[in-house]
Amino acid sequence: MKRENKLIYLDYNATTPTDPRVVDKMLPYFYDIPGNAASRSHAFGWEAEEAVKIARKQIADLIHVDPKEIVFTSGATESDNLALKGIIELYHRSGNHIITLKSEHKAVLDTCEKLERAGAEVTYLDVDKNGLVDLIALENAITDKTVLVSIMWANNEIGVIQPMKAIGDICHRKGVLLMSDATQAVGKIPLDPKEVGVHLLAFTAHKMYGPKGVGALYVCSKNPRVKVSEQINGGGHERSMRSGTLNVPGIVGFGAAAEICAKEMLAEAPRLSALRDKLENALLTIEETYVNGDVDNRLPHVTNLAFRYIESEGLMATFNQSVALATGSACTSASIDPSHVLMALGLSEGMAHSSVRFSLGRFTTEEEIDRTITLVKNGVIKMRDKNPIWELFKDGVDVDNL
């Protein structure tokens, strides 16, 4: 059902609308073809199994891996959990040390904290002011007990892309496995985990115009052969790495979304980066506005801006939430704490609370960008006019040291 009001959706990093072409592919598997892909004694099951096989290949082709290396899950959070817990459990005789970044998604950080409580050792590396890993610090952190390095390909809040090839080379030299949460990158930019030396890759359908509730974990099967210990037991599905009846309609939609991304993402990227740059450049004309994160190594559709001397939630209230934006990760939006990602960049709490993420997507129009620019500019002016700190700043007072 279409909305009657003109809400603008610029929160594509939280989730994407399901592409109508994807929905069309899914619909028959809710009723006409209702089989369980594990039911091999009748035609309904065979058809479901074949549909899963096709989707598995579509998804594998998008990231240039073998279809048998794709393990289906309920989403990227489960994929992260499966990779981290599954590796530590299966490779515990080789070591119990994980290295990750302070700016990782909570699905990684919270899982690492749980593993620490169970006896694992975790090193949380700093990132620089642009959100990038220090490669020398990473190499120095690897010990003879390190079994896994986990670094996200592209950050969900600031869009910064890590130097995955350089990271992969370090892990290869040191003989440790490399995992990446690539949830924001898959379907947005070309990825080849084998080429850069990533052994496990977590991602999900709903960030790439597919349905919610279905994700995947790429697990390298050769050079080296990697396995993860099953975390959900009950039947030995997915090569005994993830039991449970497969979500056939979701998987079909995932495959369709992957195929569309493979065909269209290279054309989508310049359009989206042009719209993003138009939005960003217009808003940077507002005094005391800054880009958070590296501007040279980032996803084409994301910008995270800090508007000093305002509060981001208050800014959104000035236009009655008629533009869907993010003031933090969607997975931690209930928290009043400042973004851990922005704090990892070295921002003050005030700057973190004044920051807004704009994430564009396939259905974003230039008209929506123009309207957003006007609403945000007016909103910032309105908020600052009511803020006595802004008045002091304009009078030349050093408000940061009051």
**Which residues are known catalytic residues?**
331
How many Å apart are CA 187 and CA 362, to the nearest integer?
A: 11
Instruction: Please tell me the total number of residues recorded for the chain in this structure.
Output: 402
DSSP summary character for residue 230 = -
Give burial (CB, 10 Å; 0-12/13-18/19+) of 239. middle
How many Å apart are CA 370 and CA 279, to the nearest integer?
A: 8
User: 95: closest CA among 146, 139, 141, 171?
Assistant: 146
Residue-wise DSSP of 17-39: PPPHHHHHHHGGGGTTS---TT-
Of all helices (H) and strands (E), which one includes residue 8?
A: strand 8-9
SS3 of residue 180 by DSSP: strand
Phi, psi of 179 (to 5 degrees): -115, 150
SS3 of residue 13 by DSSP: coil
Supply 180's token pair: 């990446």
User: 154: closest CA among 205, 201, 122?
Assistant: 201
Supply 6's token pair: 């003109």
Residue-wise DSSP of 40-81: -SSHHHHHHHHHHHHHHHHHHHHHT--GGGEEEESSHHHHHH
CB 239, CB 68: distance < 8 Å: yes
SS3 of residue 380 by DSSP: helix
CB 45, CB 35: distance < 8 Å: yes
Of all helices (H) and strands (E), which one includes residue 88?
A: helix 76-90
CB 126, CB 168: distance < 8 Å: no
